[in-house]
Structure formats: C-alpha cells, structure tokens
Structure 1
Amino acid sequence: MKKTFLIIGIVLGLNPLFGQEEDIDLNADNSWLKAGITAGVPVGDADDVSSFALGLDLRGQYLFNPNLGVGIASGYSNYFGEDDYDDFGIVPVAGFIRYYFTPDGLFFGTDLGYGFVTGVDDTDGGLYVNPQIGYHNRDWNFYAYYQNTFAENDVDIQAVGVGVTYNIRFQ
C-alpha cells in the first residue's frame, strides 16, 4: 500500500511539469503507438524459478519536442517456469519518459508505475521500474532493458533483456 501511495505521489508531483496552456495537436510527427516484443533472462529472485521471459510491449507516446517523449506503457511479460514451477507474469501499467539525443540514434528512458503479478500466490504486484537504452529511427526502436517489479512480501521480479517496437503513426 505504501508503494501505491508513492506512485500516486510521484505522478501528482510531476504533473505540473507536463501542464500545457496550449491545446495539444496530436499528429504523425509528434505522437504514435509503439508495439513490439521483448525477450529476457530472469535475475534475482525470478532466476530461481524461471529461465526465460518473453513479452509484449505496448506504448502510446507524445513528443514535447524532438528530444523529449512521454507516454503510457503496458503489455505483458511471461516468465516461463522451470523444474516444478509454473509460469507467471507481469502486466505493467506505467508512465514513461524518453530522451532522444538525435532524430535517429541513441535514446534512454524509463517506465515507472505498477506491475500486476499473475500466477503467483501471496502477491498482487508492486512498484514497476523499467529503464532502457537503445537505438531508434522514424519507424523502429531497438533497446536493452532492466525490468524490476518490487512485489509484496519481499519478492523482486527482475529480468534483463532486449526489445524491439514498431511505431504506428497517427494520421
């Protein structure tokens, strides 16, 4: 519950940074959907019960200027159980921010929100953090990530991996 209040506080605290007096014009040059896949290797607590993570990455992004993008992120990461353990997963509901150094090239960013845990008893989820660094162009994003869900009962579900998304432009 404390982590939920922390997330709400962060979102409300950052809200004035994104306030706009002008109407936002969504167009193909400043906003789009991103859809793609991720593949990773569990680390930490998750490494004991899973050997591979495969996921779907969905995002909606708005560019304030050519270098700064913000948006919402969701998707699903499935952690494949090993030995006698069942598969489990993470469904993030997060905001994200990205900094693009140039129109084509290096970017870095992070997601921050709540990760709902599926398939695990005694935990519903927790604080979700997903920093990324990668390469982008007008249509594609290729990146490396570290994903961590600080779940209840001192369970941290972590993975490191790579992802790719395709930009679906608004018309």
Structure 2
Amino acid sequence: MKKVILVCALVLSSLAASAQFTVSVNGGLPVGDVEDFSSFALSGDVGYAFATDNNLMLGVSAGFINYFGKEYDFLGTTVEAESIQFLPVAGSLHYRLSNNFSVGSKVGYAFGINDGNDGGFYYKPMLSYMVGEATSLSLFYEGITDDGFNANNVGLGFTFGL
C-alpha cells in the first residue's frame, strides 16, 4: 500500500511541476445574432493546464461573459437592452508553434445566467503571442450557440500564468 501511495504522489508531483494556473481578461466586439442587442463583450476566466509534452498543453477553464446591452431611442425615450450573461465551463488545448506563438481552443458548455437564457455549446479558437515569460495576448473568436441563436464576439485577451 505504501508503494501505491508513493507512486501516486510522484505522478501527481510531476503533473504539478508542469502545470499552470491562468487568469484571462478579454474584450470583444459582438457579431452574429447578439450584435443587434449588444455593443461590447467583456469576459474573464480562470484555468488550469498541464503539459503533455514540450508543445502541447491540456486543461480546463471556467469563466464569465457579459454582453452589454445597447441603448436605443424609442419615442423620445432612451431604452437600454438587457445584458446577456454566461458562465462557460470548457476543456482547453494549446499547441506551441514557436517560442512566441501558439494556437488553441476551448470547447464546452456556457450556462445562461439571466432570465430566458438557456446557454449553449461554447467554443473559442485563438491565436496567442507570448509577451513575457508567463503572459500572452490572444486574438480569438468566441461563440455560444443554442437552437439557432448565436452569441459570438471577436476580441483580444490578456492571459497571465500564476
């Protein structure tokens, strides 16, 4: 039994040595169906990833997305559309193309927070550029789709490792 515990401890410590916690802050411009109701998207997430080899990282992430409602003039009165909010939970994959560039994607489910928002399938392909030892800038396309309704945005993100 002691040998099994020792082997498990060694495996976990080797995974932890190559693991990284991340925090991301993102801003985006809405596209698709949500563009009619929203003027800007702001999101953030936390993640945990570990290296499977020198170039490939696998992980999980959870976050928050807010599509800010647009203001409309209606019969002389300014009316603001409600914000649309999601909690995405996803698996992630990042592949390092060079010392500075990597490509990646997150895929999962985004839970709808506000009334009438059921959430939907979540995806986020991205291209990242390392600007420091543990920081990167990402260009991404983030999408949530459910029964023909698409909440998408194109944006720029800043990620730093902890």
Q: Give the alignment's TM-score, normalised by structure 1.
A: 0.78
Which residue number in structure 2 is paired with residue 26 of structure 1? 15
Amino acid at match of 2:156: V
User: Once the 2 structures are TM-superposed, how far is the Cα of residue 36 of structure 1 from its aligned partner?
Assistant: 2.1
How many residues get paired? 143
Instruction: Render the CA deviation track for 1:92-130: whole Å, top value 9, x for unaligned.
Output: 11101010123x300001001001122241x41111110
User: Once the 2 structures are TM-superposed, how far is the Cα of residue 138 of structure 1 from its aligned partner?
Assistant: 2.6
Which residue number in structure 2 is paired with residue 140 of structure 1? 135
* Aligned partner (choices 38, 50, 59) of residue 71 of structure 1: 59
- Partner of 1:23, secondary structure, is helix
List gaps (5 residues or longer) in structure 2.
Answer: 1-9, 72-79
Counterparts of 1:31 and 1:44, CA distance in 2: 36
RMSD: 1.5
Does the 8 Å CA contact 2:107/2:122 hold for their aligned counterparts?
yes
List gaps (5 residues or longer) in structure 1.
Answer: 1-21
Matched, 1:36 2:24: yes
Report sequence identity in percent: 29
Q: Give the alignment's TM-score, normalised by structure 2.
A: 0.82
Which residue number in structure 2 is paired with residue 16 of structure 1? none
Counterparts of 1:93 and 1:59, CA distance in 2: 10
Which residue number in structure 2 is paired with residue 130 of structure 1? 124
User: Once the 2 structures are TM-superposed, how far is the Cα of residue 56 of structure 1 from its aligned partner?
Assistant: 1.0
Which residue number in structure 1 is paired with residue 94 of structure 2? 98
* Aligned partner (choices 51, 57, 68) of residue 80 of structure 1: 68
Which residue number in structure 2 is paired with residue 49 of structure 1? 37
Does the 8 Å CA contact 1:126/1:150 hold for their aligned counterparts?
yes
Does the 8 Å CA contact 1:57/1:165 hold for their aligned counterparts?
no
Distance 1:67 1:105, change over 3 A: same
Counterparts of 2:96 and 2:30, CA distance in 1: 28
Counterparts of 1:141 and 1:90, CA distance in 2: 24
Which residue number in structure 2 is paired with residue 14 of structure 1? none
Which residue number in structure 1 is paired with residue 75 of structure 2? none
User: Once the 2 structures are TM-superposed, how far is the Cα of residue 50 of structure 1 from its aligned partner?
Assistant: 0.2
Matched, 1:163 2:150: no
Counterparts of 2:129 and 2:115, CA distance in 1: 34
Greater per-residue strand proportion: 2
User: Once the 2 structures are TM-superposed, how far is the Cα of residue 87 of structure 1 from its aligned partner?
Assistant: 0.9
Which residue number in structure 1 is paired with residue 144 of structure 2? 149
